[in-house]
């Protein structure tokens, strides 16, 4: 019985040591690093929606892989919130750069609502400043004519490893070229 007890104790120490070694050597040292949003392209334009496709690029500095997903990232165009984007859960490779596709559906109605809201705010302030409204509309049109738009992505990423989950905030603004 003593031998059996010693064997159990040795097995327990061995298993505990292995678990400690694995958790310290394969630890999640830091979150995946958000690098950029790139290859933003207009997929389609219709009367009711504008669809954009983009890729979000990351780098995983950790020795272990995991999964990443987005939770309703807000999309701002020229400082106006116009859409939210979510994506499926994607596998994150260990010690590599990777990208996840983002598909943004922008209701054209939302753009005009923002303009209408701004106009109403100005009227409520008794400031009938049509120049500012024209400037906003002109700014949007100018952005599309010049194919250069300021896009901000703001929201949370969820990174999962071994059943554990952590949320990370992203707030990235880029001036992008539109490709029609």
Q: With bands split at pLDDT 50, 70 and 90, how would you rate the model's confidence at 38?
A: confident
Could you report the per-residue pLDDT of 92-140, keeping only the tens digit for each? 898 999 988 888 888 877 766 766 666 666 666 655 455 555 655 565 6
Give domain status of residue 48, yes or no.
Answer: yes
Of 1-10, 11-20, 49-58, 69-78, the poorest mean pLDDT is in: 11-20
Q: Which pLDDT score is estimated for 103?
A: 82
Handedness of CA 44, 45, 49, 54 (dihedral sign): positive
Q: Which pLDDT score is estimated for 142?
A: 58
Q: Which pLDDT score is estimated for 96?
A: 92
CA dihedral in degrees (159, 161, 164, 168; nearest 10)? -20
- Closest C-alpha to 44, from 87, 100, 106: 106
For tokens 């701004």, what's the residue? 118
Mean pLDDT of 41-68: 84
Phi, psi of 95 (to 5 degrees): 55, 40
Give domain status of residue 98, yes or no.
Answer: yes
**Total count of domains within the chain:** 1
pTM score: 0.58
- Strand runs labelled E in 12-134: 33-45, 49-59, 66-77, 80-85, 90-92, 97-107
User: CB–CB of 69/89 below 8 Å?
Assistant: yes
Give domain status of residue 152, yes or no.
Answer: yes
Of 25-29, 82-86, 111-115, 118-122, the poorest mean pLDDT is in: 25-29
Could you report the per-residue pLDDT of 136-153, keeping only the tens digit for each? 556 565 565 556 677 788
Q: How far is residue 39's CA from residue 53's CA, in Å, rounded to a whole number?
A: 8
3-class secondary-structure state, position 106? strand
Phi, psi of 11 (to 5 degrees): -65, -40
Give domain status of residue 151, yes or no.
Answer: yes
Higher-confidence position of 136 and 63:
63
Give domain status of residue 129, yes or no.
Answer: no
Per the prediction, the chain carries an average pLDDT of 73
Give domain status of residue 23, yes or no.
Answer: no
CATH code, 55: 2.60.40.10
Domain of residue 33 covers 29-122+141-177
């Amino acid at each position: 019985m003593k031998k059996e007890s010693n064997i159990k104790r040795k097995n327990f120490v061995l298993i505990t040591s292995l678990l400690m070694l694995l958790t310290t050597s394969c630890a999640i040292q830091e979150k995946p690093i958000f690098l950029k949003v790139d290859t933003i392209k207009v997929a389609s334009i219709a009367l009711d929606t504008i669809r954009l496709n983009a890729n979000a690029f990351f780098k995983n500095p950790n020795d272990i892989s995991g999964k990443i997903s987005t939770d309703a990232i807000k999309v701002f165009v020229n400082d106006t919130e116009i859409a939210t984007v979510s994506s499926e859960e994607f596998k994150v490779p260990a010690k590599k750069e990777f990208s996840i596709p983002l598909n943004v559906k922008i209701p054209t109605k939302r753009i005009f609502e923002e303009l209408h809201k701004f106009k109403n705010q100005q009227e409520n302030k008794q400031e009938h400043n049509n120049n500012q409204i024209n400037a906003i509309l002109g700014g949007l049109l100018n952005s599309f004519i010049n194919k250069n738009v300021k896009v901000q992505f703001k929201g949370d990423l969820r990174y999962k490893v071994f059943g554990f989950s952590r949320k990370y905030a992203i707030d990235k603004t880029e001036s992008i070229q539109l490709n029609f």
